[in-house]
Structure 1
Amino acid sequence: MHTTLNFLFFLNSDDIMSIELIGLEEIPLVSQGDDVCELIKEALNKQNITLQHGDIILIAETLISKAEGNVIKLGDIIPSEDSIIIAQKSKKDSKLVEAIIQESREVVAVGPDFIITETKHGFVCANSGIDESNVDEGLATPMPENSDKSASIIREFLEEEYGEELAVIITDTQGRAFRNGAVGVAIGCSGIIPLWRRAGETDLYGRELQTTEVATGDELAAAASLLMGQANEGIPVVLIRGFENFDQLRDTTSGISPLLRPKEYDVFRK
């Protein structure tokens, strides 16, 4: 039995839009060197799923980092003086703080139990995106070195296997300014533009949209997060089927960069 979510949108009596989320339940715990492409293919086969045109595969970043060997052994870290000072302020372990700093370009803010940084990839988030959950004791997983590249490799493999145009999105869970709780966000993608620029279109009253942009990659990641969960759900890969704007946003060259706000427009760091 598949773990699925189905959303139906009724536009009028004759027109129903729907989107389906399917969790891949046959993905094992991964180790360095495991072939994520083959694991996804095997999981699809076990659940009797054949990929179709426009299907989007969303993959938790921890799975990618572990398979690629991008794991931090916290016990091997020697904290710097700066890390010790920040650890006292944030009430975090100084070894973890040193790992956070090493994965960052800039420490943006420090508070009780949080350190906001700009990661090496350009993401502004808590703790440089380092995750201590779903890994063995004493280990932590930073974000993948190049999530766009990882997504591209998996997409090209699956497109070759199934002969269909697909997209792959690497996801993470992050908090948001001024709101409690974490949501799924996109940190890498291939096969789809993650930012839908809708300026020039019209609203229901015929007014032309001037600046509207939709973070489609994040919306898809947040939807997948409903099945992935944050604890012991054990579903690191989700298939989204029926996203009707796939062809409009299809792009094999775009990565995640359109979603990143340039620092000069980041009013929170001025």
Structure 2
Amino acid sequence: MTGPPDGAGLRAWPVEGLGEVRRGTALVDLLDGVDLHDGDVVCVTSKVVAKAEGRQRHQDREEAITQETVRVVARRGAARIVENRLGLVMAAAGVDASNTEVGTVVLLPEDPDASARRLREDVRARHGLDVAVVVTDTAGRAWRTGQTDLAIGVAGIEPLDVLDGQVDGYGNPLVVTAPAVADELASLAELVTGKLGGRPVSVVRGLAARVLPAGDHGPGAAVLLRPRRQNMFALGAREAVVAAVRGRDADCFGAPAPAEEVVDALRSCGLDAVVDGPGVRLRLDTGRPGVRDQVVALERARLVCHAHGWGPFSDTGPAAPTSGDAVFLSPGDS
């Protein structure tokens, strides 16, 4: 087996010898003396960007997390997974109390994509080079232990490599295939910089074919954010139950489910339901003398239907909802 041809593959290395970055530091200064080529990708941690932009605060961390939070996704004890003002879902809203002076916290940059574009333009103006820039941050993964770095700001490279519609070597069409190139670059950068070495900037070489022409910054990292209605994990397990009970946060449950799926869910809860035209009919046992069981069944059905994007029910019986079947409709049919 032979090795790769000369120049093939990727090379990544950290920028050594950088001092403390403070408010007002020009990030392009950090690249003076660095061996940069056209087509390189410069990766810089969000913390360094934030410090340069004055996002360091003398503030209680929990207070800062609350201020940066738009929506709580999940809470376990003191730990909070939230959606922050940038639309990112992460622990503690991205507020960090590490690698900063005791008693201070660092918030995420105001606009990481704009920060990436600005650094890219500064490199072009000072060095005459066309590089891409990725602003990185650390986040956990919903299904796995540990953290990796991901891209929260991107300029000069397409964050996604959308391959839908192409075919593999066996002739199979690719569907929902879009490697997150920017996130992969961020993780590579973290491997070479580490967390404790004081090396927040790195360079990746070997992707020149992906770097966009000068002046074309691409769509930015914003395209990596999954819309809430497409997110199958927009709420934690406990929080989803509470949202259904409250009858709120319906957008976190996604688009309305098909009627057959709603019926399956209702039946799994011991409820007698059938598809009825455009709706779902909950068949109540009107022969029972009491109404308590009917009320419980209706409330249980309401919670299940709300979580599937359906409701409210309309009474088809002669009197109160407990005296006849209930029909649930999706928003498009109500």
Name the TM tier (shorter chain): 0.7 to 0.9
TM-score, normalised to structure 1, is 0.81
Moved more, 129-138 or 153-162: 153-162
Amino acid at match of 1:40: L
Count of aligned positions: 233
Q: Which of 2, 8, 13 is the aligned partner of 1:17?
A: 8
> Which of these residues, 32, 37, 40, is aligned with residue 55 of structure 1?
40
Query: What is residue 73 of structure 1 aligned with on the other side?
Result: 58
CA distance in 2, matches of 1:52, 1:206: 38
Determine the structure 1 residue equivalent to 2:126: 161
Partner of 2:283: none
Identical-pair percentage: 35
The answer on 1:96 being equivalent to 2:81 is no
Q: Does residue 129 of the first structure (1) align with residue 94 of the second (2)?
A: yes
> TM-score with structure 2 length normalisation?
0.66
Maintained 8 Å contact 2:158/2:210: no
* Distance in structure 2 (CA, Å) of the matches to 1:203 and 1:257: 28
Of the candidates 184, 189, 193, which is equivalent to residue 228 of structure 1? 193
Q: CA deviation at 1:68?
A: 0.9
Which SS does the other structure have where 2:29 is aligned? helix
Equivalent residue, structure 2, for 1:33: 24
Q: Give the CA deviation at 1:248.
A: 7.4
Deviating above 6 A after TM superposition, structure 1's stretches of 4 or more consecutive aligned residues are none
In structure 2, do the counterparts of structure 1 residues 35 and 248 end up closer, same or farther at CA, with 3 Å as the change threshold?
Answer: closer
> Does structure 1 residue 107 correspond to structure 2 residue 107?
no
The residue that corresponds to 1:201 in the other structure is 166
Alpha-carbon distance in 2 for matches of 1:152, 1:32: 19
Instruction: Say yes or no: does 1:143 pair with 2:128.
Output: no
| Amino acid in the other structure paired with 1:60 | T
Equivalent position amino acid for 2:51 in 1: K
For residue 119 of structure 1, what is the amino acid of its counterpart?
Answer: N
**For each residue in 1:103-123, what CA deviation from the matched residue of structure 2 results, as whole angstroms up to 9, or x when unmatched?**
111111111352101010000
Query: Relative to structure 1, is the Cα distance of residues 100 and 210 closer, same or farther in structure 2, using a 3 angstrom cutoff?
Result: same
CA contact (8 A) 1:196 1:249 kept: no
Normalized per residue, which structure has more strand? 1
Q: 1:237 aligns with which of 181, 193, 201?
A: 201
5+ long unaligned stretches in structure 1: 1-8, 75-94
Counterparts of 2:40 and 2:233 in 1: how far apart (Å)? Answer: 36
Give, in angstroms, the shift of residue 235 of structure 1. Answer: 0.8
Report the CA distance between 1:206 and its aligned residue: 2.5
> What pairs with 1:164-175 in structure 2 (closer than 5 Å)?
164-175=129-140
Structure 1 Cα separation of the partners of residues 25 and 212 of structure 2: 34
Higher relative contact order structure (alpha carbons within 8 Å, sequence separation ≥ 6) = 1
Q: Give the distance between the partners of 2:213 and 2:71, measured in 1 at CA.
A: 32
Instruction: Name the stretch that deviates more: 139-148 or 103-112.
Output: 103-112
Q: Is the 8 A contact 1:154 1:168 kept in 2?
A: yes
TM-aligned CA deviation for residue 161 of structure 1: 2.6
Determine helix, strand or coil for the equivalent of 1:153: helix
Q: Secondary structure of 1:161's partner?
A: helix
For residue 199 of structure 2, what is the amino acid of its counterpart? I
AA matched with 1:258: V
Per-residue CA distance 1:36-79 (angstroms, 9 max, x = gap): 1112224x1xxxx1x212100000111111111111212xxxxx
Question: Alpha carbon RMSD of aligned pairs, Å?
Answer: 2.1
Which one of the candidate residues 205, 217, 224 is aligned to 1:259? 224
* SS in structure 2 of the partner of residue 107 of structure 1: strand
Equivalent of 1:214, from 173, 179, 183? Answer: 179
Distance 1:167 1:53 in 2: 9
User: Alignment partner of 1:196: what SS?
Assistant: coil
Determine which structure has more spread, i.e. the larger CA radius of gyration.
2
Unaligned runs of 5+ residues in structure 2 are 235-252, 254-334
- Is 2:40–2:208's contact at 8 Å kept on the other side of the alignment? no
Q: 2-side partners of 1:10 and 1:203: how far apart?
A: 25
Q: Would the aligned equivalents of 2:156 and 2:212 in 1 still touch at CA under 8 Å?
A: no
Q: CA deviation at 1:10?
A: 5.4
Contact 1:103 1:119 in 2 (8 A): yes
Cα 1:17–1:208 shift into 2, 3 Å: farther
Secondary structure of the 1:17 match is coil
**Aligned equivalent of 1:84:** none
Q: Distance in 2 between matches of 1:140 and 1:153?
A: 24
